[in-house]
Chain A
Amino acid sequence: MRRTEIVSTNTGTTGTTFTRWFGLLAVVALALVAVFGLVLSPPDVVQGESVRILYLHVGTVWVAYLAFVVTAVSSAAYLWKRSSSLTWDRVAGASAEIGVLYMGVTLLTGALWGRLSWGTFWVWDARVTTTAFMFITYIGYLAVRGLGGSHRQRARRSAVVALLAVLEIPLVHFSVELWRSVHQDASVAGRTTDVTLDGLMLFTLLLSTVAFTLVYVWFVLHRQRVLAMEDALDDRGLDYALIERRREGAMR
């Protein structure tokens, strides 16, 4: 009876007017990345046409880093006060999912670019290997989130994993300086770089980071709402089970 009532009062999804406009902005930005990346930007004097892959590679790895930092900050915020809202935990989980997606895309685009530039899809290079290790670590983080227990137990144990996993970011970032590496150093914001980028190439690179950041924010907004609904449904499922058990007990 109560279940029927609940179903009949539902409206809406995870979207709002704001997220719809935001999503549209993100789609337009991604379309511009494709136009500038594939058509309008010039080929590189050294890398030739393969530089077009780097517009995606840099944009997606930036978002993956951002996502994992947000996961760590949200996890710390949750652990700071045990009574904290589970929203922190859901933002952490949603952010990590997007981070894993774009870290995977980074590895794929890196492999394709590597085939053109280095002649091979994969090398056991410090940057490439530590990036793959970080990718696997965050898949592990998502697996930990999927273990059983209450929402608070899930939040607590995954927050601890997130705070440990984020320590890999400086390791990955500085791996090209710490060890011998075939991977290039930072082209735009490197400390020792003397690379001059064409204006249109630099613009495309920045456009890509902005576009993927917009996509990331849109994803987190929607995904953490989906996670909130999954938690709510879990709680209600427990309520129904308790009501049923009480009913059974009263009938005996």
Chain B
Amino acid sequence: MDDLGFILLSYIATFGSTAVLAWRVLHRGRALGGQLPDDDKPWV
């Protein structure tokens, strides 16, 4: 049962850090996208 805390912590840390980075990247993208014309965004 001691193992459960360590196992859950490893899953929370892995998925949590992935989610935080994803949110930061998308948020930064939205913030910058609002300051630039489409010419600077070839993927649009």
Contact = CB atoms under 8 A, between A and B. Distances in A.
Given A50-B6, A112-B10, A34 B15 contact: yes
Contacts, number: 112
DSSP majority for the B interface? Answer: helix
Query: How large, as a class, is the contact surface on chain A?
Result: 35 or more
Contact of B10 (A6, A56, A222, A229): A56
B34 to A, nearest CB: 5
DSSP majority for the A interface? Answer: helix
B36 A50 contact: no
Interface string A195-231: 0000000000000000000010011001101101110
Interface of B: 2-4, 6-7, 9-11, 13-15, 17-18, 21-22, 25-26, 28-30, 32-38, 40-41, 43-44
Given A13-B33, A222-B29, A226-B32, 15 more contacts: A6-B37, A7-B34, A9-B38, A10-B37, A11-B38, A50-B3, A50-B6, A53-B10, A56-B11, A56-B14, A101-B18, A104-B17, A113-B6, A116-B2, A222-B26
